[in-house]
Amino acid sequence: MRKRAFPRAAPLALLAASFTACGGAKPAHQGASTAAPAPKLPAPAGPEALLGPARYVLADGVGVVFDQAGRPADLPRPEPALADGTRFLLNGGLVLAEAPGPEHLVGFRSLPARLGGGFVFWSNTRTYHGATFLGPLRPLAEVAAEGGARPWLDTLVLRTPLGLLELDLRGPAPALRRTELARFAEAMSLDGKHGARIDAFGRAEITLDGGKTFRDLTAERGTRLSGFMEGPAGRLLLLTGQGHMQPTLALDPGKGLVPVVADPPSDLGWASMPTPPEDPALASRTLAPFELATAVFAGARLPGGRAIVGARDRSARVLSLATGRPLGDAPWSTVAEPYARCQPIARGEGLLFACTHPHGAHVLALAGDPSAPRLEATFPEPGTFVAGLRERFAFLGRCGALVPTAADFRGAPPVEMEGQNRLFGPSEPPPEPQDPPEPLDPTPTDDAYVCVRGADGAWTERRLRGEDAAHLYRFLPGDGGTVTALVLRPKPEKAAPPPEGVRVVHVDPDDPALGGALFPALLTPQEDLPYRSIDRDFWLDDKDGSLHGWIALPPEGEDAEDPESIPQGRSERLLPVSTRLGGRFAGVHIRLDGRVEVHPLPPGVVEVVRGGPFALARASVDDLDTYHETIDGGRTFRPVAPPPPVVELRAPYDASSIQGCSELGCALGNSVVRLGWGGPAPAAPKPPPPDVPSAPAPPVERLGALPLRCRLAGPPAPKDTPKQGTFLLNPSTIRHDLGSAVGGMRGDTLTADVGLPFDTRPLRVVTVKAPGFVLPPARDALVPVLLAEGPSPVGFFLRANDRRLDLGLPRGLSSPSALPFEHGGDFRVAVDLDRGDLLTLASSELSLLRGGLLRPFAKPGYIPDVKRQRLGLARRLGKGPARVALSLVSGSSGDILLADLDLLRATVGPLRPAGSLTRLDPSAACRPDPDAYRLLADVLVDLRFDPPHPDQDETGLDATALVTTSAGRACLEGLEVRWPKNDRTLIVRFPSGEAIVREAGQRGDKAVCSSP
């Protein structure tokens, strides 16, 4: 037996005060205020009462949606929020109240009194209104405000997939209508008098008189906006720029349009905008930090309603148990990495940190200054700590040197600190020159050590040998440096007397009283966050010294699992233990003579999360979940309120999951904490919500699939014999498969059979000089080109292997040879400018293309919205100079918007409505208009042949439509429909309905189709 004693750690009360009073501690967040220096209170006479009643807290990691209106307060306050579709009233994450919705809600906004008051909510399919946040909801429309809701002049604007819709709640019945705002992407007014609206390209209009007149801010100042933000004093901040969301202008309730002036540049030359700072440590719209879950799972309680936990960057963090918020950090400047990865534990009046690492283990004690822990003990081998009730604590392994130093850590690399090779600062004696210690021999399976800490801070080494050591399950620390050895084997008839300070209790692992249950495997120390090295699964009774703990039960109704021998401890003793992390665990009482009593669980329990004598259980009976708590090791359970519906108690994913209990409560993952114990009985289960009445349909027609009916116009065409060379798939359609071969190489010439888009005429042979071109190309794409009037209004060029091949362009626009084209980007479409130049659109950037040279032209700012719009180009029909417009086609409503491009100034004009795909006219209706525009649009087609054809009749086929817009009408000129399963394409032209079913390398079968 070896024994060593050191001065005791400082009382917890003094340490709790030190975290805010001493100069070594720092606030958890820069700029956060700290409490006034706390008085040095006397040490508590006895243990503090358990926290209670229990409260649920949402921590960082829960997806929470706060009110889109207003601004967060600088100090905590109750805030309405949505989490996992449920309504909550939160105060810094603390759940004050909750209410389910009629369905999964995804957003909400509070309304000013001038717009009717209350709250507007939306799901993925509907919009609702409620007079109060937690009260009943009534449906407003069968459309979701996916992009949020904005207050407007005298209405509320819903940003829906069908565009901006105005909602008026002031009358006896809600009125939802479509107005001129449909051509805009954003609109907002905070006071009903001053407002701004923005189109999808950032063009802004403002009103200062409640909508009587509007000013084109972009035309006046060249300013394009990217969004809005509520500022102080009712100001509406107008955000400009791409990406940085910087306000330069604002609508002031008293002054109208005013500039927002940046603060003077700092020493580094940076200027900041005068937007009020929101300290994340204080703002009301924040949740509890994830460290709260870690503190409940693997932290320690401090007097004064505080908790402490090991944190990143060699520090400890202190949190308030009343609010869950961080109070301060204590950086450990005197402890080197990786020796600061520690789990705190309160032992009596002192606070210890149990630390593990690959080279051993050690204990740090806090004495006065929390940022300078003292090295109390070192252990020469890695291992696990075990904790019992009150001050009982031990390390499962050998004690280190009588004077603890880093020399105990065999094989540890030297770490320089403060100019010396010391790991623990002044608390570690200076190293003496010596030979490196020999590595420890592996402990034989019949030899077991434990190092026990006494109440006086002295560490005593105990040892167990022989068969009892070979079947040792764990040591349990007792009082006065004694331990109890729990041995998994029947008690022998003639047992040798135990060593000094060691009591042996034998349990037969096959005892029928266990009912097939297994003892849980010993904790494996966790050296990454959350730092965890202390096992609390078993403890000694304060009255008679008997043993209490937890055992793993088989699933209810199933046979016991066959025990598997698992290596345990440094000596890797093979024991029949369970490594299962979740499932059913029951409390067990082991008497000193080895008799076992398993405490019953509440009916239907399927999951138990535990820690010491504390546990929370989930039961499931008749598809109804109930929860139960115990604070006495499973001897008794009482029903409790369930956790918020954002989490369900389930088995953890792995050993690093933050899930467990302590005297502070339970961590149910890293995002939900049950803080404290006790409380009122749970309320009776709520009846299922009534069926929600149907809501009015939105005032906009949704775009569905175009119905297309066709018939073959003759016998199938004869199949052509394959040509010499590689003719796998020839570019006869703009719905060409990427990565496919496009023709055949003969020497330096690429030969391909080409059919132009929307052209039902026979294929033609095209040759292009392409020295060194390899088939199939590594990456290829057909870029459609909108042409001037002609038999084929759309051509294309092939982009492949960093080259441009003009396979589908008319003479005068095409090159007989491949051109270099080493340009990135997703080229969607191009327009013929009549001078041998092309205007291309790649992503949202416009460029001029001449030959292989690409020159930037313009980059219009595009504000993404929820209308599922696709950006493209449109070209004016008729003769004369080319006129081009940017096009936006909504995949939800079918709306077509155009914005004219000034090709001389490279500017974008206002967006204007140009028709809808939901109301397609015959193409002849648009042709007489010389100002008509032609564009391409992605659509879906439901295709049926007469008579029915199983290989060709299909719904929801991807298609490209050739559309002409004129005077607000949209006309269908052609369709290209792709069958992905049989590699065929249907090409249709209107108004004739002439069609062809084309297959790669074949002439195709003629057909006739009716206009959708």
Q: The tokens 């052209």 sit on which residue?
A: 759
**Residue-wise pLDDT tens digits, 200-251:** 999 999 999 999 999 999 999 988 888 888 988 889 999 886 545 678 899 9
Report CA torsion sign: 920, 924, 926, 931: positive
Q: Supply the range of the domain harboring residue 533.
A: 383-404+444-555+570-598
**Residue-wise pLDDT tens digits, 552-571:** 998 877 777 777 888 888 88
| Rounded mean pLDDT, 724-737 | 48
**Residue-wise pLDDT tens digits, 705-718:** 999 999 999 888 77
Q: Within 13 Å, how many C-alpha atoms sit on residue 769's CB side? A: 5
Contacts of 494 (CB under 8 A, 6+ apart): none
What pLDDT shows up at residue 277? 39
Contact in structure between 551 and 586 (CB atoms under 8 Å) = yes
Determine which of 270-284, 714-728, 975-989 has the lowest per-residue pLDDT on average. 270-284
Q: How many CB atoms lie within 10 A of CB 292?
A: 32
Q: Check whether residue 860 and residue 716 sit in a common domain.
A: yes
Q: Give pTM, 2 decimals.
A: 0.83
| Rounded mean pLDDT, 599-621 | 95
Would you say residue 283 lies in a domain? no
**Residue-wise pLDDT tens digits, 429-455:** 655 544 545 555 667 889 999 999 998
Report the C-alpha gap between 296 and 666 in whole angstroms. 6
Buried b (16+ CB within 10 A) or exposed e, 418-448: eeeebbbbebbeeeeeeeeeeeeeebebbeb
Peptide bond preceding 722 in cis form (omega within 30 of 0)? no
What pLDDT shows up at residue 417? 56
Q: Check whether residue 221 and residue 295 sit in a common domain.
A: no
What pLDDT shows up at residue 475? 97
Statement: residue 268 has pLDDT above 50: no
Strands (E), 27-153: 55-58, 64-66, 79-83, 86-91, 94-99, 107-110, 119-122, 127-130, 138-141, 149-151
Statement: residue 57 has pLDDT above 80: yes
Q: Check whether residue 240 and residue 294 sit in a common domain.
A: no
Last residue of a domain, one of 578, 598, 618: 598
Alpha-carbon distances, residue 621 vs 558, 601, 602, 608, 649 (angstroms)? 17, 13, 11, 15, 15
The number of folded domains in the chain is 4
Would you say residue 918 lies in a domain? yes
3-state SS string for 37-49: CCCCCCCCCCCCC
Would you say residue 565 lies in a domain? no
Statement: residue 725 has pLDDT above 60: no
More confident residue, 367 or 46: 367
What pLDDT shows up at residue 2? 52
Statement: residue 279 has pLDDT above 90: no
Determine which of 317-331, 789-803, 888-902 has the lowest per-residue pLDDT on average. 789-803
SS3 at position 861: coil
Residue 16 sits at φ, ψ, to 5 deg, of: -60, -40
Nearest by Cα to 744 from 733, 755, 761, 730: 730
Indicate the burial class of 462 (C-beta count within 10 angstroms; 0-12, 13-18, 19 or more).
buried
Would you say residue 701 lies in a domain? no
Q: Check whether residue 397 and residue 370 sit in a common domain.
A: no
Would you say residue 44 lies in a domain? no
Statement: residue 731 has pLDDT above 60: no
The average confidence (pLDDT) of the chain is 84
Would you say residue 656 lies in a domain? no
Statement: residue 267 has pLDDT above 60: no
Report the C-alpha gap between 55 and 674 in whole angstroms. 6
Statement: residue 595 has pLDDT above 70: yes
Determine which of 30-44, 356-370, 624-638 has the lowest per-residue pLDDT on average. 30-44
What pLDDT shows up at residue 464? 95
Determine which of 25-34, 552-561, 828-837 has the lowest per-residue pLDDT on average. 25-34
Alpha-carbon distances, residue 239 vs 221, 249, 275, 580 (angstroms)? 14, 7, 12, 54
Statement: residue 43 has pLDDT above 50: no
What pLDDT shows up at residue 729? 40
CA-based R_g, the chain, Å: 37
| pLDDT tier, 950 (very low <50, low <70, confident <90, very high otherwise) | confident
Residue 2 sits at φ, ψ, to 5 deg, of: -115, 145
Order of strands, edge to edge, in the sheet holding 3-4?
3-4, 459-465, 447-453, 393-395, 385-387, 534-535
**Residue-wise pLDDT tens digits, 232-243:** 888 999 988 654
| pLDDT tier, 31 (very low <50, low <70, confident <90, very high otherwise) | very low
Report the C-alpha gap between 720 and 722 in whole angstroms. 6
CATH of the domain at 352: 2.40.10
| pLDDT tier, 697 (very low <50, low <70, confident <90, very high otherwise) | confident
More confident residue, 368 or 133: 133
CATH of the domain at 147: 2.120.10
Last residue of a domain, one of 259, 280, 298: 259
Q: Check whether residue 517 and residue 390 sit in a common domain.
A: yes
What pLDDT shows up at residue 427? 62
| Rounded mean pLDDT, 720-740 | 49
Contacts of 368 (CB under 8 A, 6+ apart): 10, 14, 15, 18, 22
Q: Check whether residue 80 and residue 156 sit in a common domain.
A: yes
Q: Check whether residue 367 and residue 396 sit in a common domain.
A: no
Statement: residue 803 has pLDDT above 90: no
| pLDDT tier, 871 (very low <50, low <70, confident <90, very high otherwise) | very high
| Rounded mean pLDDT, 660-688 | 89
Buried b (16+ CB within 10 A) or exposed e, 744-783: bbeeeebbbbbbbbbbbeebeebebebeebebbbeebbbb
**Residue-wise pLDDT tens digits, 114-158:** 998 999 999 999 999 999 999 999 999 999 999 999 999 999 999
Contact in structure between 352 and 344 (CB atoms under 8 Å) = yes
Q: Check whether residue 326 and residue 254 sit in a common domain.
A: no
Would you say residue 4 lies in a domain? no
| pLDDT tier, 16 (very low <50, low <70, confident <90, very high otherwise) | very low
Q: Which helix (H) or strand (E) holds 972?
A: strand 969-979
Strands (E), 92-185: 94-99, 107-110, 119-122, 127-130, 138-141, 149-151, 156-160, 163-168, 175-177
Would you say residue 101 lies in a domain? yes
Q: Check whether residue 592 and residue 735 sit in a common domain.
A: no
Q: Check whether residue 1002 and residue 868 sit in a common domain.
A: yes
| Rounded mean pLDDT, 777-805 | 80
Highest mean pLDDT among 793-802, 807-816, 896-905: 896-905
Q: Check whether residue 364 and residue 392 sit in a common domain.
A: no
Contact in structure between 240 and 248 (CB atoms under 8 Å) = yes
Q: Check whether residue 340 and residue 393 sit in a common domain.
A: no
Statement: residue 15 has pLDDT above 60: no
Peptide bond preceding 530 in cis form (omega within 30 of 0)? yes
Q: What percent of the chain has pLDDT over 70?
A: 86
**Residue-wise pLDDT tens digits, 515-533:** 999 999 999 888 788 889 9
| Rounded mean pLDDT, 107-113 | 95
DSSP assignment of 439-456 equals: PPPPPPTTEEEEEEE-TT
